[in-house]
Amino acid sequence: MINIVLFGKPGAGKGTQADFLKHKYNLVHLSTGDIFRFNMKNDTELGKLAKSYIDNGDLVPDEVTINMLQDEVEKNPQAKGFLFDGFPRTIAQAEALDKFLAGKNQEITATVALEANDEILVQRLLERGKTSGRADDQDEEKIRNRYQEYNEKTAPLMDYYKAQHKFYAVDGIGTIEEVTERLSLVLDTFQ
């Protein structure tokens, strides 16, 4: 079983590459954004709780996020592995994920960061914003704020996984195929 954590700034190609990775390695893709939206749309207890925080403009506490993710893992007992996308975002979440997986005799196999120059990504998102309809992809200042938050929050996570020798950086610039090839070179070593 391989369990991968996929990192990347907005616009780095995480969604595109996650779609490839889940198929090639037969992984269950767990996107926290998708899980939040599903639980809120379906009015689950965890969804109502998450919505109460979001509606107040607050961040959803780690405990709620972790419980949602654990529910999704439990729903997939036959999985050959998981691709965690958008989680963990904090050291506390990473530690909780490690503890949860250890209870199932599993662990994170690798964390992979799609790295790219901010200036290239800003232009990519502004271009995407012309068709995506997402307001946060149309405002350069908001994009740069998202990158600043990413840098502040993920730097400690990178160090956390580097200390476990589970962190790999992959150049996220190039064609989809080129980036896919780079990711495969890293992940094929765990097959």
Q: Is 80 a catalytic residue?
A: no
Interval 166-183: pLDDT, tens = 999 999 999 999 999 999
Mean pLDDT, rounded, for 24-35: 91
Question: pLDDT value at position 157?
Answer: 92
| Residue 84, pLDDT score | 95
Catalytic residue among 22, 89, 124, 182: 89
Q: What is the β-pairing status of strands 81-85 and 110-115?
A: unpaired
Query: In what side-by-side order are the strands of the sheet with 110-115?
Result: 28-31, 81-85, 2-8, 110-115, 167-171
Binding residues: 11-16, 32, 37, 58-60, 86-89, 93, 128, 134, 146, 174
| Catalytic residue (one of 41, 99, 104, 134) | 134
Q: Residue 167: enclosing H or E segment and its boundaries? A: strand 167-171
Active site residue 128: yes
Q: Left, alpha or beta for 61 (phi > 0: left; psi -120 to 50: alpha)?
A: beta
Mean pLDDT score across all residues of the chain: 90
pLDDT at 82: 96
Which of 9, 22, 146, 182 is an active site residue? Answer: 146
Residue positions forming the annotated binding site for AMP: 32, 37, 58-60, 86-89, 93, 134, 146
Would you state the pLDDT for residue 136?
76
- Residue 98 and residue 106: Cα distance in Å, rounded? 8
Q: pLDDT value at position 62?
A: 85
Q: Which residue has the higher pLDDT, 37 or 163?
A: 163
Whether 124 is catalytic: no
Return the minimum-mean-pLDDT range out of 4-13, 80-89, 150-159, 181-190: 150-159
Q: Tell me: the pLDDT tens digits for 40-96? A: 899 998 889 888 887 877 778 888 888 889 999 999 999 999 999 988 988 989 999
Query: Domains in the chain and their CATH numbers?
Result: 2-184 (3.40.50.300)
What pLDDT sits at residue 172? 93
The catalytic position among 14, 22, 124, 182 is 14
Residue 129 pLDDT level (bands cut at 50, 70, 90)? confident
Residues making up the binding site for ATP? 11-16, 128, 174
What pTM was estimated for this model as a whole?
0.85
Share of the chain above pLDDT 90, in %: 51
Q: What confidence score (pLDDT) does residue 22 get? A: 95
